[in-house]
Structure 1
């Protein structure tokens, strides 16, 4: 059973999300809160798997709450659901190491799929958000210091930045998913990051790839 907490300052949004989730087998909404401090309090007082959270809330906002919850409860998957798709906000949130970032115009099927992916440990690099920032990325820039990454690792990192899954990377490069995972472990170590989201962000920040 996937246990979910909804954090949004609009009661109608919370009610709508609850109704959508209640129809899904294996998903249970265990609490609802209206601000970031409420999300922090719930994280400190009960066990759950995923925090479905808005960013723009009164008092302690989602960004601040996410920072505290990630530090105190790293096993909770934070799935941001917001109307804010500004480049700056997306990068600020993804730097926290959240599990995913979706816009509120997402359809219910995609939302459910995203929740299940987050629960299984797969981060969500939303095509409508992260993809928007990175769609112009082309080829690796040979003039940049690549932190010791090999040519193959740079190829794989390029696909990660574009939001490709391990299976898609393996198919494109004609290698197994296991080989992709091994390369990713090496990439994380060389970049001093913990997951593919942080690796993608760092690659862009370090200008590993040219922007058209």
Structure 2
């Protein structure tokens, strides 16, 4: 069965061209196209099928890619978001990843690389080309320097261990013998301390700093 994709891009010609390219891929199909994040949310509310993957532009009117990625991470965390943009600057890449995107491609990407990226995203849960990986690594090294001064309690470390699992917050609360509200407070405190917004960001931090073992 083909993996379903939704394209969110306000440039109709580009979106339609992408749709035609992807529909020629063996393992993927585009089920509909949206002009911005608000349009996507409206289609979800109207009962349109929830896709496996969303190809998300960044610069869009009404509701841009950053806001849309953040909304998807909170409301549909199982959807894999791939940023597809003309913007390849460090700030855009890092912000999209922190907001929940699992991959990042430029719009001048060759169709074959796009297919490879979608395959990697589907099988591994993420895909970053070499240029994006270098940006991420550089940013993580910078964050490491500042994170060394952050104080993390033992209970917060225990919570971080569970962020890399598929356990729900309620299930994590059961493992930690506390209430879901307490677990949510650990999450919020860590997000504030580390300047993160999503569980994905916390999981990356946990893995990078050895709390996931």
For normalisation by structure 2, the TM-score amounts to 0.64
Question: Distance in 2 between the 1:86 and 1:97 partners?
Answer: 17
Summarize the Cα distance change of 1:195–1:69 in structure 2 as closer, same or farther, 3 Å threshold: closer
Partner residue, 2:6:
5
Partner residue, 2:87:
84
- 3-state SS in 1 of match to 2:78: coil
Partner residue, 1:68:
71
- 3-state SS in 2 of match to 1:123: coil
Summarize the Cα distance change of 1:107–1:197 in structure 2 as closer, same or farther, 3 Å threshold: farther
Question: Distance in 1 between the 2:40 and 2:15 partners?
Answer: 13
**Which residue among 126, 130, 133 is the counterpart of 1:130?**
133
For normalisation by structure 1, the TM-score amounts to 0.64
Partner residue, 2:17:
16
Summarize the Cα distance change of 1:195–1:66 in structure 2 as closer, same or farther, 3 Å threshold: closer
The answer to whether the Cα contact below 8 Å between 1:95 and 1:198 also exists between their aligned partners in 2 is no
The answer to whether the Cα contact below 8 Å between 1:5 and 1:30 also exists between their aligned partners in 2 is yes
Partner residue, 2:29:
28
Question: Distance in 1 between the 2:100 and 2:17 partners?
Answer: 27
Partner residue, 2:184:
none
Once superposed, what is the RMSD of the aligned Cα atoms?
Answer: 3.5
Q: Which stretches of structure 1, 4 residues or longer, exceed 6 Å deviation after superposition?
A: 145-148
The answer to whether the Cα contact below 8 Å between 2:81 and 2:102 also exists between their aligned partners in 1 is yes
The answer to whether the Cα contact below 8 Å between 2:85 and 2:105 also exists between their aligned partners in 1 is yes
Summarize the Cα distance change of 1:109–1:60 in structure 2 as closer, same or farther, 3 Å threshold: same
CA drift of 1:203 comes to 5.4
Summarize the Cα distance change of 1:28–1:187 in structure 2 as closer, same or farther, 3 Å threshold: closer
The answer to whether the Cα contact below 8 Å between 2:94 and 2:136 also exists between their aligned partners in 1 is no
- 3-state SS in 2 of match to 1:57: coil
Task: Report which of the two has the higher share of helix.
Answer: 2
The answer to whether the Cα contact below 8 Å between 1:123 and 1:197 also exists between their aligned partners in 2 is no
Q: Which runs of 5+ in 1 are unaligned?
A: 149-184, 205-212
CA drift of 1:26 comes to 2.3
CA drift of 1:122 comes to 2.7
CA drift of 1:128 comes to 2.1
Question: Distance in 2 between the 1:197 and 1:21 partners?
Answer: 32
CA drift of 1:106 comes to 1.2
Partner residue, 1:164:
none
- 3-state SS in 2 of match to 1:75: coil
CA drift of 1:196 comes to 8.5
Partner residue, 2:204:
199
- 3-state SS in 2 of match to 1:125: coil
Summarize the Cα distance change of 1:33–1:86 in structure 2 as closer, same or farther, 3 Å threshold: same
